[in-house]
Every structure is written in C-alpha cells, then in structure tokens.
Structure 1
Amino acid sequence: MSDWLKLLLLGILSIVFGIIVLGAPIIASVAITTLAGFMLLIGGGVQVVGGFTVEGAGNKILSILMGLIMVFLGWSFLKNPLEGTLTLATVIMILFIAGGIARIILSFQMRGTQFFWPTLISGVLSLALAGYIFANASVGLALSLLGILLGIEMLFNGFGLIFTALFVKSGENELKQA
C-alpha cells in the first residue's frame, strides 16, 4: 500500500471518529477525563518513587509533594469523572484566557509587522472563546466541551491528513512523469 493511500485512509478514519465523538461529546469528555486520571495516577506514582532519589531535602520534598498531588488528582478524576470533566473544562477556560492575553501582549510587540493583526485577532478570539465558556458555564456545556474540542481536532486532523495524502500523491505523479 502506498504512503499517500495510508495517509488518505488515516484521514478518513480520523474524520469518521471525529463525527462519532461530536455525536456523543459528553461520553468522549468523560473518556478523556478517565484517561487523564490514569495518566495522573501513573505519572504521580512515578514522581513519588523518583522523589526519593532526588538530591537535597527541599527538592526531595517538592518532588514527592508534586507526585502526591498528581496521584490525588488522578484518583479524584477516576472516582468522580463528571466533576473531573468540569475541572478540566475550567482549566481549559483558564488556558484560553492566559493564551489570549499573552498573544494580545505579544501582538503589540509586533506592531508594524505583517504578524500584528493575525496575532491580535488570535488572542482576542481566545478571550472570546473563554468568555463564551464562562458565560455558558452550565454543566451541559462544561461536560461536553472536552468532547467537542476533541471531535473538532479529529476533523481538522483528518482533513489535514487527506490534503497531505493528495499532496504526496501529486508528488509521486510528478516523479513518474519526469
């Protein structure tokens, strides 16, 4: 099977899964939270164990403490996945705010260049999205937010893979003609 065909099939598969995720965003959100819970548990456990090998009492305590916090968050996400999903949605909103503010500040440092407006608009859109999430902070939106974002990303990824496949195929055709 040629490379472009593999990319094409992966792109189609990603789009199909993206549509499925968008059809059941709350289930996808809870699945993301559960996966994050497992990852936090494992990562926290490794952090705690690794903390005992760190040099210096302060570093050792900090490392073990951070590991314990990760274990607690992981256990909390697994024990209460709906509340964990709300927590992750809140974290995403905060990240949108922080990223938006950072890009707006950065855009003013780019004033007079071709990058000013795209960077400024990107920052404003992030703040607008965070505002939308905050204004509609109902449990339904928060519970479905992670799934919606995952579904959209899967669609974008699928289209990107399809376009890449077509680009690779056109390159192969040009090589054959040469």
Structure 2
Amino acid sequence: MTTYDSGSSAALYAPPTWLRVLLGIVLIVGGIFVLGDVALATLVSTLFIGITAIVVGAFEIIHAFWTKGWGGFVWQILLGVLYIVFGWMVVSQPVSGALILTFALGLVFLASGIVRIVVAFKHWSEAGWLMLLSGVFGILAGFIILSGWPASTIWVLGLLLGIDLITHGVAWLTYGWLPASRTA
C-alpha cells in the first residue's frame, strides 16, 4: 500500500473509497482464483520470475555503461549476465526453475526464522514475543517446505501467492473502509 506524507506542501490525496474497496475485492478474488489451482499458479509465478530476471539483467548491463571505473563496470556486466542466464534457465525449464526457487524459499524461511528468534530475545521488552512467534512460524514453514521437497514444489509458490493476494486485498478493504479523515 502507498503511504501519503501528510507534511508535504502538495495537496493530500488518497484514492477514493470505491477504488480502494474495488482493489481489495479484485485482489481477494485473484487470490481465491490462484488458490483454485496452485500448481498452475506456481508455474506462472516461476515464468514471471524468470522473465523479470531477464529484464533486470538487461537493465543491469545497460546501466553498466554509465558506471565509472572498470571494477564497477565489470561487476555490473557479470551480474547482468548472471540474471539473464538464470532467467533464461527458469523460462526454458520452468519445472526445474520451480524446484530451485522452492528449495531456496525453504532455506530463506528457515534462515529468516532463526534471525527473527535471535532478534526477538534482543528486543524482548519491545514486544519481542511477537518476533519470536514470527520466527517460529518462519522455521516451521522452512521445515515444511524442505521436508516435502521436491514434492512441495507443486504447491508452495502458488499457495504463498494466493495467500499474499488475499491478505493484500483484506488490507486494501480495511484501508478503504477507514473514515476519510483517517486515510488522508
């Protein structure tokens, strides 16, 4: 969601209520649609990630020509080429790409869960228990994904996309139903 700076000199603008509510409904319906076929959503997500990597790689290479110094230039070219190669591999082999992305996602959930637990104890007096709970859920999600891998590849990305769309839609609906004075 976009936040609006109430201290700016420009006129305050929040999207009209009907638009916020409509966006929330569209996102929720999209999330339900995605959850209807998580395998297809996983495949589409994988292709989208691959295409995005190719585009980002191309822009990284183009941007390298405006970089000062050979060191930065070479690293940006290398990074761009890696993005393009990764993207091409994912697009040309989406099932294998989904396998790799799902495994990486499981590792990320596991690692971020561990980090959140460490942070929770360091900030226990500042509602650290919430961070602890978040960390435990992250570790559980990581273990569920990795213990079911490679079979979990079929449903993980699509399920997470569907859940994300629904929660994002609920957030927009909530924002849309707030009184106008609180959203400006």
Tell me if both proteins adopt one fold, taking TM over 0.5 as the criterion: yes
Alignment-derived partner of residue 130 in structure 2: 118
Q: Which of 58, 73, 79 is the equivalent residue of 1:66?
A: 79
Alignment-derived partner of residue 150 in structure 1: 161
Mapping for residues 59-98 of structure 1, pairs under 5 Å: 59-98=72-111
What stretches of structure 2 of length at least 5 have no aligned partner? 1-14
The TM-score with structure 1 as length reference comes to 0.86
Shift of 1:41: 0.8
Residue-pair matches, total: 169
Q: Percent identity?
A: 28
CA-to-aligned-CA distance 1:65-88 (integer Å, 9 cap, x gap): 111100100101110111111111
Alignment-derived partner of residue 137 in structure 1: 149
Shift of 1:4: 1.7
Matched-pair contact (CA < 8 Å) for 2:42–2:158: yes
The TM-score with structure 2 as length reference comes to 0.84
Q: Which amino acid aligns with 1:26?
A: A
Mapping for residues 1-178 of structure 1, pairs under 5 Å: 3-111=16-124, 113-139=125-151, 141-168=152-179
Which portions of structure 1, spanning 4 or more consecutive aligned residues, are displaced by more than 6 angstroms?
169-172
CA-to-aligned-CA distance 1:117-160 (integer Å, 9 cap, x gap): 11111111101110111111133x21221110010011111222
CA-to-aligned-CA distance 1:89-123 (integer Å, 9 cap, x gap): 12211211221111111112113x14121111111
For residues 9 and 50 of structure 1, the distance between their equivalents in structure 2, rounded to whole angstroms, comes to: 38
Kindly name which structure, 1 or 2, has the bigger radius of gyration based on alpha carbons. 1
